Amino acid sequence: MPETLLEVRHLSQHIKLSDSWFSKASYLYAVDDVSFSLKAGETLGLVGESGCGKSTLARSILKLMEPSAGQILFKGQDITQYTGKQMVSLRKEMQIIFQDPMDSLNGRHTVGAILQEPFEIHQMGDAKQRRQWVEDLLLKVGLPVEAMDKYPHEFSGGQKQRIGIARAIALKPKVIVCDEAVSALDMSVQAQIMNLLLSLQQEMQLALIFIAHDLSVVKHISDRVAVMYLGKIVELTSAQRLYEKPLHPYSQALISAIPVADPRKRKARQVLQGDVPSAINRPQGCHFAGRCPKVMAKCEQIAPKLSDIKDLEFEHKIACHLIE
C-alpha cells in the first residue's frame, strides 16, 4: 500500500473583496471546505466548470496562496503554517506546470539557464554537474541536447511544454500539479505530452493533481477524479466509476455534455440550463439546486455534506440529498 503523500483537510480559500468602515466585508468563496488525500504514484483529476475553484485549490495546496482555513499535510507534516523560508525546501517536493509555457518560461534566458536555475536555488552540484543534469533532463522529456543553447520562443507549443515539464521534474519532486497543462496543445501533440506525463509518473512514482476542462483527458490520465462545483467537491471516486456511473446530478450533466466522437451515438443529451451562480452571493442550501433537474424542497434549505456512500467496497464520496 503506497503511503498517503498529501492530505487536505477542510481547506477553504475565502477572498475578501471589500473592506470599508461603512459596509460589511463580502467574500468570494473560491474554495470552501475541501478535503481529499493523495497517494504516491497516483493521479487525482479535478474537473468542473470555469470558476469552480480548481486552480485556486491547486494554488492553495502549494501555498502560492495562503489558505484561509483548513490544513494541508505533506507526508504527515502540517505545512499550513510554514513560513516562506520553510516552504523553499518543500518546493523541491512539490511542483507545478501551467497551461501556457510561454508565460512561465523567461524569454530572455536560454533553456539551459532556465533548467539550471532550480539547482542553483537549492545549491546543488557544481557547474559541470548541473550541465550534465540538464542534459539528462532534456533527454528524459524527449528534447535534443542542443536545445540547451536556444531560447523558449524557438520552440513549438508542445516542445515548450516539455521544457516546463523538465523544469518541474528537475528536483525529483513527489507531487506535481498540472494546471491545464495540455489544454493549449493540438490533439496530436497533447497525446505526446500525456504519454510523457504517464511514463514519467511511472518512472518516478509521481503523484499528480491534474486539472483540465477536457473531461476525456482527465478520465484518461486519472486514477481518481473529484468533481467541483462552486468551490466544493460534490463527487469523488475512481475515474472509471465516475464516468460509468456518475451519481451526482451535476456530474451526470457534465459527463452527458461531453461530445462523443461517433456520429452513430448522437444522443438526446441532458443539457444543463443556466450558468454557475456567483461565488460571492451563493445560494443557500445546495449550490447546485438552482440548475438541478432533480431538486427537492430540502435542497434549497440544507447544504448536503460530502460523505462516503455506505456499503461500498471502494471509495465513492458524494454531496447530494438524493443519495444517503
Partner 1 sequence: MSHRHEQKLLDASLDTKMIQAEHILRVEKLAVSFETDSGPVAVLDDVSFSVKKGQTLGLVGESGCGKSVTAASIMGLLPQPYGKVVGGDILYQGNSITALSLPERYALRGNRISMIFQEPMTALNPVHTIGRQLSEVYELHKPELNKKARKASAIAMLNKVGIAEPEIRFDLYPHQLSGGMRQRVMIAMALACEPDILIADEPTTALDVTIQAQILELMGDLQAETGMAIIFITHDLGVVAEMCDQVVVMYAGNVVEHTDAFTLFESPSHPYTQGLMQSMPRLDAPSKTQLKAIPGNVPSLSLMPKGCRFSNRCEFSTSQCEASKPELEAYHNPNLGSHSETHLVRCFHLEDVNNA
Q: Which residues bind partner 1 (CB under 8 A)?
A: 43, 49-50, 156, 158-159, 186-192, 194-195, 198-199, 213, 215-217, 219-223, 239-240, 243, 253-254, 256-266, 269, 271-273, 275
CB of 238 to partner 1, least distance (A): 9
Nearer to partner 1, 43 or 60 (CB): 43
CB of 284 to partner 1, least distance (A): 22
Backbone angles phi, psi at 19, to 5 degrees: -145, 95
DSSP letter assigned to residue 3: P
Nearer to partner 1, 63 or 291 (CB): 291
What is the distance between the alpha carbons of residues 86 and 167, in angstroms, rounded to a whole number?
A: 21
Nearer to partner 1, 12 or 251 (CB): 251
- Residue 14: strand pairing partners: 29
CB of 131 to partner 1, least distance (A): 27
Nearer to partner 1, 90 or 247 (CB): 247
For 227, residues 6+ apart whose C-beta sits below 8 A from its C-beta are: 47, 48, 233, 234, 235, 236, 242, 246, 248, 250, 251, 254
Q: What is the maximal distance between C-alpha atoms in the chain? A: 69
Nearer to partner 1, 40 or 171 (CB): 40
CB of 153 to partner 1, least distance (A): 13
DSSP letter assigned to residue 68: S
3-state secondary structure 275-308: CCCCCCCCCCCCCCHHHCCCCCHHHHCCCCCCEE
Nearer to partner 1, 33 or 223 (CB): 223
CB of 278 to partner 1, least distance (A): 10
CB of 54 to partner 1, least distance (A): 12
For 196, residues 6+ apart whose C-beta sits below 8 A from its C-beta are: 141, 142, 162, 165
